[in-house]
């Protein structure tokens, strides 16, 4: 019996699992595979060098699937910001109607997407920020716990408490993000009020993910202890895989009074992309959540989502069997 939630009904998907936007990873082959398997695949807009390149990526994805898929647009703190409005316009003009947004000051983007009849899922790391996004008119919130890859915010709240707080405070539906890689995570998230989950790290280690096979195999061998936070002292915390480069960044920060310029040469996106292209684990910084410790194989997206769907039903059925009827005295 398929799971039905507000997320599956709103997005037209079978399994309440979203493949979150990931720089250099959210490419057409993976996105189409996730959507074909019953989840929601999401293209990462800023992985494409230009808005026109995003148009072509959307068309390429559409050639591989007729199922719904979305586009992620993340507002990054940068001196020379990309033309977010042009990327947004390109995606809308190509017929995309599902968007994942993240970052600071998303109001103008959300307003534009809603004016075009789009569904917006906005990522937040605190209930406070989630309530602000709620006021902006988003349709779903993606609540990022401390376990997540990338930027978990600065409050260090794990998903057990963060999702329970979301259930207390939010008026619109939300999904859970961070630390989820299997059916147990999905069922736990549902029990905490979520309408589904967002998975990133788990989808990196799938057959259709276009990162180098060496990186996938390294992830399978890794444990939940194999990530580390960088930029803690810069108040822009990021969870990344614990490799030589990440540990060098942490060492520089521990010396005190570190500036971004002190580590810029280590954390450049160009170096990070080489990890995925060449398979050298230590070539640069690359993001991974602690759910890497739950990854033990490299399945196709269909195999993964079929397994999550089947095992979720089994877990829910097992939980319901624990309910007993009180005998009448």
Q: What is the DSSP string of 25-55?
A: T--HHHHHHHHHTTSBEEEEGGGSSSHHHHH
* Residues 35-75: tens digit of each pLDDT: 999 999 999 999 999 999 999 999 999 999 999 999 999 99
Alpha carbon separation from 274 to 34, 156, 281, 309 (Å, rounded): 24, 30, 9, 34
Confidence of residue 79 (pLDDT cuts 50, 70, 90): confident
Q: Which residues, at least 6 apart from 300, have a Cβ–Cβ distance to it below 8 Å?
A: 33, 37, 206, 207, 208
* Residues 109-145: tens digit of each pLDDT: 999 999 999 999 999 999 999 999 999 999 999 999 9
Confidence of residue 326 (pLDDT cuts 50, 70, 90): confident
What pLDDT was estimated at residue 328?
A: 63
* Residues 279-316: tens digit of each pLDDT: 999 999 999 999 999 999 999 999 999 999 999 999 99
Reported pTM = 0.96
What pLDDT was estimated at residue 78?
A: 78
Structure tokens at 9: 């009904």
| Main-chain phi, psi angles of 278, to 5 degrees | -105, -15
What pLDDT was estimated at residue 171?
A: 98
Alpha carbon separation from 72 to 78, 91, 119, 126, 180 (Å, rounded): 18, 10, 12, 19, 19
Confidence of residue 329 (pLDDT cuts 50, 70, 90): low
What pLDDT was estimated at residue 320?
A: 87
Structure tokens at 198: 């967002």
């Amino acid at each position: 019996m398929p799971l039905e939630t507000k997320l599956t009904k709103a997005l037209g998907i079978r399994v309440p699992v979203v493949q979150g936007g990931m720089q250099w990873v959210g490419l057409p082959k993976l996105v189409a595979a996730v959507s074909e398997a019953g989840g929601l695949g999401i293209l990462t807009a800023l992985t494409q060098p230009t808005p026109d390149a995003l148009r072509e990526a959307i068309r390429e994805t559409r050639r591989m699937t007729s199922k719904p898929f979305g586009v992620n647009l993340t507002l990054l703190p940068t001196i020379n910001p990309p033309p977010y409005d042009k990327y947004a316009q390109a995606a809308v003009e190509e017929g995309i109607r599902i968007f994942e947004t993240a970052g600071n000051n998303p109001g103008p983007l959300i307003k534009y997407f809603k004016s075009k009849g789009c569904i917006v899922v906005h990522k937040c790391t605190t209930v406070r920020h989630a309530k602000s996004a709620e006021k902006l008119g988003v349709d779903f919130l993606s609540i990022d716990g401390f376990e997540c890859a990338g930027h978990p915010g600065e409050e260090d709240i794990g998903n057990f408490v963060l999702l329970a707080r979301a259930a207390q405070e939010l008026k619109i539906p939300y999904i859970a993000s961070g630390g989820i890689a299997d059916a147990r995570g999905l069922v736990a998230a549902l029990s905490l009020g979520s309408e589904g989950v967002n998975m990133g790290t788990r989808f990196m280690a799938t057959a259709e993910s276009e990162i180098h096979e060496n990186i996938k195999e390294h992830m399978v061998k890794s444990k939940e202890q194999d990530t580390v936070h960088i930029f803690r002292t810069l108040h822009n915390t990021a969870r990344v895989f614990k490799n030589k480069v990440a540990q060098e960044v942490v060492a520089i920060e521990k010396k005190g009074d570190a500036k971004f310029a002190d580590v810029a040469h280590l954390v450049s996106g160009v170096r990070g992309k080489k990890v995925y292209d060449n398979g050298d684990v230590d070539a640069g910084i690359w993001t991974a959540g602690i759910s890497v410790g739950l990854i033990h194989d490299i399945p196709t997206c269909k195999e993964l989502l079929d397994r999550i769907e089947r095992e979720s039903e089994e877990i829910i059925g097992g939980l319901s069997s624990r309910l007993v009827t009180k005998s009448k005295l």
